[in-house]
């Protein structure tokens, strides 16, 4: 038996009114593998703990199979949780750790058949008689997973179960988790800050920032159609190029996006999305380009929909099968605040006995936005991309990263022609919301 999990306008506050989760609504279908993705401190684990019953919601409802589970203790929710730190009993063998919850749930039943079946499924039969201190990190996590699987729960809750493991073992266990959950068909909620785990495991991915849900969709959708700058920047390796631009759309002339020293001409016939950019005439926007949207080639080799710019090589990263080239195109990068940091710290306001409706609406709006998604006035950004100036501390040189093959012989200081595929162009407004492709339109992702 598997179950549906629904969160309806759920909020969680701790001391001094600081909200860790803000008005979250999310429906998880029976048998679905949903990944909660976001930077550290965004509220992912708190959401998981509210589903498990280890935390109570300050506002809203947690529903299991359509019924309010607010007063239901964790022991009666029929869920199994896998923790980041394994949480094994050090004085028990692997067999006893796996069988312990079975002995608690059904005291008169022999747990050995289910323990042995679970061990065969995970390939850990030879680990059952060892104690945790005799096991490696990956072996401990397999035993911890076995303890959860043996119970035959209606839902698995996994709180960054692979984050303490090395990269090779993480990739191996990731494949095992995907295979196991698909075979068992049990509803799974998986928390991680690793986008590679999220995109490879999840049926859907829910991206959180500052306790606020930014977007939920299939891995393909959140990558190809990010709702805002934060989602676009958080998902994708290398990180998407975000450049500050200005829309030029005279009524009797060609439309283009200025990137400082260069510009992207939007040639006719314009798409529906490009026509809508006329509304942004004279306004500053954010241009998003994935590394695969730009290629090294001469203007004479341009395909339909490609436009030419050029870049000065600043840095070359050899990756073996590919090369990441950092170019200086004379553009200014857009800054996404606290992308890898905890939620923005807003000043704590003392609660007034009486407040105007406008004040309450302003507070609610501030909470929903969780701070600005993008900052176009960041002082550290002021010198980016200008001649003779060093990039801000902690930022790699250049403003455009392009993925290419190792065949090109590129050296620092070379001027290289580039072709930009406008079919893979993202445009975001000053608040970081996507305006192109238009949110109401879902283009064919096979294009």
Diameter of the chain by CA atoms?
84
Nearest Cα neighbor of 329 from 231, 263, 233 is: 263
Cα–Cα distance between 285 and 245 in angstroms, integer? 5
3-state secondary structure (DSSP) of residue 125: helix
CB atoms near residue 102 (< 10 Å): 21
pLDDT for the residue numbered 446: 52
Per the listing, tokens 């295979």 go with 179
pLDDT band at 372 (very low <50, low <70, confident <90, very high): low
pLDDT for the residue numbered 370: 57
Q: What percent of the chain has pLDDT over 90?
A: 48
Q: How far is residue 34 from each of residues 188, 278, 356, measured CA to CA in Å?
A: 6, 38, 40
- Beta-strand pair 33-37/187-192: parallel
Q: pLDDT digits over 201-258, tens only?
A: 999 999 999 999 999 999 999 999 999 999 999 999 899 999 999 999 887 778 899 9
- Which helix or strand (DSSP H or E) is residue 436 part of? strand 434-436
CA 164 and chain centroid, separation: 19
How many CA atoms lie within 13 Å of 88's alpha carbon, on the beta-carbon side?
Answer: 31
Q: pLDDT digits over 429-446, tens only?
A: 988 999 888 775 544 555
pLDDT band at 377 (very low <50, low <70, confident <90, very high): low
3-state secondary structure (DSSP) of residue 298: coil
pLDDT for the residue numbered 348: 43
Cα–Cα distance between 378 and 400 in angstroms, integer? 19
Burial of 94 (0-12, 13-18, 19+ CB in 10 A): buried
CB atoms near residue 323 (< 10 Å): 18
Cα–Cα distance between 371 and 437 in angstroms, integer? 24
pLDDT for the residue numbered 252: 74
| Topology given in CATH for the domain delimited by 5-228 | Rossmann fold (3.40.50)
Burial of 78 (0-12, 13-18, 19+ CB in 10 A): middle
Domain ranges for the chain: 5-228, 230-347+358-383+391-436
Read off the tokens for 151.
């119970």
Answer whether 0.85 is exceeded by the pTM.
no
Cα–Cα distance between 303 and 308 in angstroms, integer? 10
Peptide bond into 269 cis (omega under 30): yes
Peptide bond into 422 cis (omega under 30): no
Q: For residue 89, which phi and psi values (nearest 5 degrees)?
A: -75, 120
- Report CA torsion sign: 52, 56, 59, 65: positive
Please say whether the beta carbons of 157 and 189 come within 8 A.
yes
More confident residue, 418 or 171: 418
Q: pLDDT digits over 387-434, tens only?
A: 434 444 445 578 999 999 998 889 999 999 999 999 899 999 988 999
Q: For residue 309, which phi and psi values (nearest 5 degrees)?
A: -135, -175
pLDDT for the residue numbered 418: 96
């Amino acid at each position: 038996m598997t179950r549906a999990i629904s969160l309806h306008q759920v909020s969680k506050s701790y001391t001094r009114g600081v909200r860790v989760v803000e008005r979250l609504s999310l429906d998880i279908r029976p048998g679905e593998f949903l990944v909660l993705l976001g930077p550290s401190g965004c509220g992912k684990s708190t959401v998981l703990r509210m589903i498990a019953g280890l935390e109570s919601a300050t506002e809203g409802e947690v529903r299991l199979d359509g019924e309010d589970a607010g007063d239901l203790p964790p022991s009666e929710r029929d869920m199994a949780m896998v923790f980041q730190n394994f949480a094994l009993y050090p004085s028990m063998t692997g067999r006893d750790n796996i069988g312990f919850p079975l002995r608690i749930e059904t005291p008169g039943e022999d747990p050995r058949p289910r323990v042995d079946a679970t061990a065969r499924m995970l390939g850990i039969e030879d680990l059952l008689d060892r104690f945790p201190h005799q096991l490696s990190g990956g072996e401990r996590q397999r035993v911890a997973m076995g303890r959860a699987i043996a119970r035959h729960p209606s839902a698995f809750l996994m709180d960054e179960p692979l984050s303490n493991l090395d990269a090779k073992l993480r990739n191996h266990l990731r494949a095992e988790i995907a295979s196991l959950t698909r075979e068992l068909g049990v509803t799974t909620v998986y928390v991680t800050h690793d986008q590679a785990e999220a995109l490879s495991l999840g049926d859907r991915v829910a991206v959180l920032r500052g306790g606020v849900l930014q977007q939920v969709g299939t891995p393909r959708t959140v990558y190809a159609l990010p709702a805002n700058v934060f989602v676009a920047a958080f998902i994708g390796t290398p990180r998407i190029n975000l450049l500050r631009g200005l829309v030029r759309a005279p009524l009797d002339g060609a439309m283009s996006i200025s990137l400082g020293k260069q510009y992207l001409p939007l040639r006719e016939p314009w798409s529906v999305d490009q026509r809508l950019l006329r509304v942004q005439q004279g306004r500053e926007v954010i241009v998003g380009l994935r590394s695969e949207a730009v290629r090294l080639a001469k203007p004479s080799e341009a395909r339909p929909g490609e436009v030419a710019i050029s870049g000065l090589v600043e840095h070359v990263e050899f990756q073996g099968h590919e090369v990441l080239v950092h170019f200086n195109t004379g553009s200014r990068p857009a800054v996404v605040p606290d992308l890898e940091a905890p939620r923005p710290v807003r000043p704590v306001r003392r609660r007034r006995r009486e407040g105007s409706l406008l004040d309450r609406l302003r507070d609610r709006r501030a909470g929903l936005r969780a701070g600005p998604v993008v900052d176009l006035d960041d002082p550290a950004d002021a010198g980016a991309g200008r001649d003779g100036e060093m990039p801000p501390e902690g930022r790699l040189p250049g403003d455009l990263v392009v993925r290419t093959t190792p065949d090109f012989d590129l050296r620092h200081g070379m001027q290289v022609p580039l072709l930009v595929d406008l079919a893979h162009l993202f445009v975001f407004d000053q608040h970081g919301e996507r305006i192109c492709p238009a949110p109401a339109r879902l283009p064919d992702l096979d294009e």
